[in-house]
Chains A and B, each alone.
Chain A
Amino acid sequence: MENLKQKPKKDDSCTDTKNKSGCSCKEHPEERTDQAFTVNKPFRGIQFAANRALSDTDILKLEKNIPEDETLLFTVSGDLSIKSRYSNTFLAVTDKHIYGFDDTFDGGVRVHSYDKVKRAAVKRYYGNAILIFSMDESDKEFIDLSKEHINFMRFSYKVASLYDAAAFFIQNIAAGKDLHEEMQIVEASFEKQFCICPQCGRNLIRPGAPCMNCQSKDKIVKKLIGYVTPYKTLLIFCMFLSVITTAVSLLPPYMTKLLVDDVLPAGDKGMLGVCVGVLLATYIIQYGVGAVRSYLLRVSGDKIVADLRNDVYKKAQLLTMRFYDRTSTGSVINRISGDTSNIQSFMLRITQEVVVQFFLLIGIIVIMFAMNWQLTLLSLIPVPFVVIGARIFGKKIAPFYRRIWRRWSAVTSILTDTIPGIRVIKAFTNEKKSFNTFKKYNDRWLKTDISASKITTLFPNIVGFVITCGSLIIWGIGGKLVIESPEFISAGLLVSFLSYTSMFYGPVNFFANLNDSYQSALNSAERILDIIDAEPEANFGKGKHPEKLEGRIEFRNINFSFDRSKKTLSNVNIVIEPGDIVGIVGTTGAGKSTLINLLMRYYDNYDGEILIDGMNIRDIDMEFYRSEIGYVQQEPMMFHDSIYNNIAYGSDNASVESIIGAAEVANAHEFIARLPDAYDTVLGERGTGLSGGERQRLSIARAVLKNPSILFFDEATASVDSETESLIQAAIERLIRGRTTIMIAHRLSTLRKANKIIVVDKGEIIEMGSPEELMALKGKYYKLIQIQTMSDQVRKSKEEERFD
């Protein structure tokens, strides 16, 4: 304890505590890199860790309640009172006591000393959790709420992980562990909090660092323009063609004026022929060049959308399992297919039509002003109404596009869910119900789409009406002028002017309705960027790249939860030596597969460290790391491809003989050879056409071919009969020789080669040692073995009965 007082951290003179915690401070770069979780001024000259800057009132409370001879170590600011009301509460932990500050407590504070605490834990409820101290000696593994305990502080899941660290610290200090070592663990938890961008939730490169995602995400359109850039030459050429067609299209009304005012009254047949010839040439150029332009636009548009789709799909491959846990397959497919097309059409409109329409608008206005400025001003009357209407329309339509997409995503989700599961639907004669469910969601989409179409169809028609009224003004006033003062405006001029007016309203209409496609594309872009900007799995092509992994695995203080409502792994510490064959046993939901998930780096958001050969697995290049691991799952995934390619999956350069050899090792060669198309047999989607045991042996062959340093088996024989099990078991035993192997098994008989057993229960390691040691311990493993021996006997006798 004294050491803490002798080594105060650097006194921070900055008064702007807010800046020091976040990424916005430009004046204090050094604070951002040096333990950003020290967001408060030192308390009595000693820095302490905190998740939030404490207010002056909070500091006064600390001054008032913490005696001079105690050292404040850290505070955790919470958000709920013990009575479940939103409130500014905080936990303050010193070297001698634990203080809970909550205005609903008597006197606003509750104090507890370490010596009475036997166990401290966070009990998670639904949307909230409580820090509990148990005072009962017998509470070794879990807190028994029927015994003496204190419900110390309540908080939401927002700070649950920090309270976890606090509970772990309190319990260990109460047990007499070293305070400095324990503080390092607590500080690591605080540091992790500051490694997350408060804006977008992505991981930062270091605590308090600026978020690359938020910095660069200033304009969605800017990002999309990046996809257009490679085709700029083609698009500029298209634009040039557009200018030609636009310029040429301005000619016919003028020719009309010439014909009506000069050629026809004069009866000049020669001039008539010239005019018709000019008009013919104009139309040939207009439509000929237009066709070339349309073709080139289609080509460039397709290329843009293909690039965008490639990028979205590529990124989708690199996204974390956490993303897929929370995002339906349907919505991902929808983004790759529908949204990219939507953006394609919009981008082409932006890069082409906008330019064309703009030039057209300017050209017409210039010509109209040159012809008659008074009539031109009259024709501009409807424009402000159209502009205001477009703004209102944009605001109204945006939510509809969002809603339509959600409804359509739901429909796609039903498809991706039910079409692959068609066998189950048929087996349960659920076709009618399945159709009704689809119809229900499709009807919802229909209803929303119809609501949107009321607006989307109404607006263009209103615009059309207003514009037509504009031409009526020209007819009315212009016509009157032609009748009253033909020397001022001729009939030909009026007809020609009306042609230009209708042409002028074209671009006006276009810009008015652009908002519709803009809003739709903006929605699509947001969803696509949701994938493109999502945090990928780290370290692809980066990080350490050792020659080979030896296979020493170490879990250090691992805590993990899929979501914050339930802790899946608590304080897991395991050491596995190279070449060890480790069996993980435990009841369903105990956290066995989660251990493998973390080792596979499907989830990186855990507290603590996992080391392989002394290196943190987060620092190893992901591609190399996974290439060194063979993973055989309970339900092996096969692709709609030949057996040969399925075995060679992930081993692109494997020779034919090595693939046959791998199949041999996996006890798969014999059954493959018996198939009519043997290795060329094309499997159905997800491997239909093979039995579960056959699929499993193919997945073992895949692992054999990969020649990994480390092997994981997750219930590899759980769903096969005894005979297939023995075939698979023999294949596994050949495969695991000399490799670090972790096997999860419900059937403990499959672990007979294991030299180490880990027993997991409720996310904690409760027993670990050799099978003999655990049998001697007569704990959970012993009980599981006894239960299994009995059930195996029953199973065996049943199988024999059936055989007889």
Chain B
Amino acid sequence: MARLYIDNDMARFTRKDITLVDMELYDGRKFENLEPRRLFPLSGLEKYITLLDEDGVERGIIRDMKTLPEKERATIEECLDEYYLIPKVTKITDCKEKYGVLRIWAQTNCGDVVIEIRNILHGIKLIYGTRVQLRDVNDNRYEISNINELDSRSRRLIDSFL
């Protein structure tokens, strides 16, 4: 079966559960309980969103969220926000390394958190020069969207680990 790529107003989405949507296509076909998931969670936050049913079977791919009508886009975004919890670090208040564990006291868009990274080489990755992905000892993810937008102290604290 040919892969169904969804662009523009080809589909209508209705929120079903925190991470699920129902999809109705322009030709009348309906799919229930689809889970939107990013095919490129690091490199393409808004592009290539796959829609999986309960059995993990792909029912379609949203090629680019930007092309969807506002309402449909908001529905998918809400689901993705529930599924992907990647707090955005807005400020770093302190960094301490002891016993091979780096502790970062950070303010994020989800509240204050202490990020513990055991393997710095593995846990801190600079992506595309300005974006930093942090992965803690428990495999939770955090992100600094643009390192250049951090205040100077935060930048100085994290800089030596990049």
Contacts of A200 in B (CB 8 A): 99-101, 118
Among B84, B100, B110, B139, which residue has its beta carbon within 8 angstroms of that of A530? B100
- The reply to whether A533 and B85 contact each other, CB–CB distance below 8 Å, is no
- In B63-117, the 8 Å CB interface with A consists of 81-87, 98-101, 108, 110-113
Cα(A409)–Cα(B122), bound, Å: 12
Known: A125-B19, A126-B83. A563 touches B139 (CB 8 A): yes
Q: Is A726 an interface residue (CB 8 A)?
A: no
Contacts of A3 in B (CB 8 A): none
Cα(A586)–Cα(B122), bound, Å: 32
Q: Is B32 an interface residue (CB 8 A)?
A: yes
Closest to B41 in A: A126
Cα(A201)–Cα(B101), bound, Å: 9
- The reply to whether B119 and A402 contact each other, CB–CB distance below 8 Å, is no
Q: Is B15 an interface residue (CB 8 A)?
A: no
- The reply to whether B161 and A402 contact each other, CB–CB distance below 8 Å, is yes
Known: A146-B20, A151-B18. A157 touches B112 (CB 8 A): no
Known: A85-B111, A125-B85, A126-B41. A533 touches B100 (CB 8 A): yes
- The reply to whether A145 and B85 contact each other, CB–CB distance below 8 Å, is no
Contact code string A387-415 (vs B, CB < 8 Å = 1, else 0): 00000000000110011001001000000
Cα(A127)–Cα(B85), bound, Å: 5
Cα(A144)–Cα(B111), bound, Å: 32
Closest to B53 in A: A146
- The reply to whether A146 and B16 contact each other, CB–CB distance below 8 Å, is yes
- The reply to whether A399 and B18 contact each other, CB–CB distance below 8 Å, is no
- In A286-319, the 8 Å CB interface with B consists of none
Q: Is A84 an interface residue (CB 8 A)?
A: yes
- The reply to whether A199 and B101 contact each other, CB–CB distance below 8 Å, is yes
Cα(A533)–Cα(B99), bound, Å: 10
Q: Is B25 an interface residue (CB 8 A)?
A: no
Contacts of B43 in A (CB 8 A): none
Known: A200-B99, A214-B99. A402 touches B18 (CB 8 A): no
Closest CB-CB distance, B86 to chain A, in whole Å?
Answer: 6
Kindly name the residue among B137, B139, B160 whose own CB sees the greatest number of chain A CB atoms within 10 A. B139
- The reply to whether A84 and B100 contact each other, CB–CB distance below 8 Å, is no
Cα(A151)–Cα(B83), bound, Å: 13
Q: Is B146 an interface residue (CB 8 A)?
A: no
- The reply to whether B85 and A128 contact each other, CB–CB distance below 8 Å, is yes
Among B20, B99, B112, B119, which residue has its beta carbon within 8 angstroms of that of A213? B99
- In A131-174, the 8 Å CB interface with B consists of 144-146, 149, 151, 156-158, 160
- The reply to whether B160 and A402 contact each other, CB–CB distance below 8 Å, is yes
Among B54, B111, B119, B159, which residue has its beta carbon within 8 angstroms of that of A86? B111
Contacts of A128 in B (CB 8 A): 85, 140
Closest CB-CB distance, A345 to chain B, in whole Å?
Answer: 23
Q: Is B131 an interface residue (CB 8 A)?
A: no
Cα(A741)–Cα(B104), bound, Å: 48
- The reply to whether A85 and B160 contact each other, CB–CB distance below 8 Å, is no
Q: Is A564 an interface residue (CB 8 A)?
A: yes
Among B18, B83, B122, B137, which residue has its beta carbon within 8 angstroms of that of A201? B137
Among B33, B98, B121, B141, which residue has its beta carbon within 8 angstroms of that of A126? B141
Closest to B137 in A: A201
- The reply to whether B162 and A326 contact each other, CB–CB distance below 8 Å, is no
Contacts of A144 in B (CB 8 A): 54
Closest CB-CB distance, A531 to chain B, in whole Å?
Answer: 11
- The reply to whether B110 and A84 contact each other, CB–CB distance below 8 Å, is yes
Closest CB-CB distance, A226 to chain B, in whole Å?
Answer: 19
- The reply to whether B32 and A146 contact each other, CB–CB distance below 8 Å, is yes
Contacts of A526 in B (CB 8 A): 100
- In A210-225, the 8 Å CB interface with B consists of 213-214, 217
Contacts of B16 in A (CB 8 A): 145-146
Cα(A403)–Cα(B120), bound, Å: 11
Q: Is A327 an interface residue (CB 8 A)?
A: yes
Cα(A151)–Cα(B139), bound, Å: 22
Q: Is A565 an interface residue (CB 8 A)?
A: yes
Cα(A199)–Cα(B160), bound, Å: 21
Cα(A402)–Cα(B85), bound, Å: 30
Cα(A160)–Cα(B98), bound, Å: 25
Q: Is A71 an interface residue (CB 8 A)?
A: no
Among A146, A157, A327, which residue has its beta carbon within 8 angstroms of that of B140? A157
Q: Is A38 an interface residue (CB 8 A)?
A: no
Cα(A97)–Cα(B18), bound, Å: 24
- In A666-700, the 8 Å CB interface with B consists of none
Q: Is A331 an interface residue (CB 8 A)?
A: yes
Contacts of A214 in B (CB 8 A): 99
Q: Is A434 an interface residue (CB 8 A)?
A: no
Closest to A159 in B: B138
Q: Is A594 an interface residue (CB 8 A)?
A: no
Contacts of B98 in A (CB 8 A): 199
Kindly name the residue among A126, A128, A149 whose own CB sees the greatest number of chain B CB atoms within 10 A. A126
Contacts of A565 in B (CB 8 A): 139
Contact code string B126-155 (vs A, CB < 8 Å = 1, else 0): 000000000001111100000000000000
Cα(A145)–Cα(B122), bound, Å: 34
Closest to A82 in B: B18
Contacts of B9 in A (CB 8 A): none
- In A97-141, the 8 Å CB interface with B consists of 125-128, 130
Contacts of B32 in A (CB 8 A): 146
Among A85, A127, A213, which residue has its beta carbon within 8 angstroms of that of B84? A127
- The reply to whether B84 and A125 contact each other, CB–CB distance below 8 Å, is yes
Known: A331-B121, A399-B160. A564 touches B138 (CB 8 A): yes
Closest to A161 in B: B138
- The reply to whether A86 and B121 contact each other, CB–CB distance below 8 Å, is no
Closest CB-CB distance, A443 to chain B, in whole Å?
Answer: 13
Q: Is A87 an interface residue (CB 8 A)?
A: yes
- In B6-39, the 8 Å CB interface with A consists of 16-20, 32-33
- The reply to whether A86 and B84 contact each other, CB–CB distance below 8 Å, is no
Closest to A410 in B: B121
Contacts of A331 in B (CB 8 A): 121
Contacts of A402 in B (CB 8 A): 160-161
Contacts of B161 in A (CB 8 A): 399, 402
Cα(A326)–Cα(B118), bound, Å: 11
- The reply to whether A126 and B110 contact each other, CB–CB distance below 8 Å, is no
Closest to B37 in A: A126
Kindly name the residue among B33, B100, B111, B159 whose own CB sees the greatest number of chain A CB atoms within 10 A. B100
Contacts of A125 in B (CB 8 A): 19, 82-85
Cα(A331)–Cα(B161), bound, Å: 16
Contacts of A86 in B (CB 8 A): 87, 108, 110-113
Contacts of A151 in B (CB 8 A): 17-18
- In A317-353, the 8 Å CB interface with B consists of 326-328, 331
Cα(A144)–Cα(B84), bound, Å: 20
Q: Which 6 A/B pairs are nearest by Cβ-Cβ distance?
A: A399-B160, A86-B111, A128-B85, A127-B85, A146-B33, A126-B84
Q: A126-B83, A158-B140 are in contact. List 11 more A-B contacts (CB 8 A).
A: A84-B81, A84-B85, A127-B84, A127-B139, A145-B33, A145-B54, A156-B138, A157-B139, A200-B101, A328-B121, A409-B121
- 18 cross-chain CB contacts under 8 A: A86-B110, A126-B41, A126-B84, A127-B140, A128-B140, A130-B18, A145-B16, A145-B19, A146-B32, A146-B33, A149-B17, A158-B140, A326-B119, A327-B121, A327-B122, A402-B160, A403-B162, A533-B100
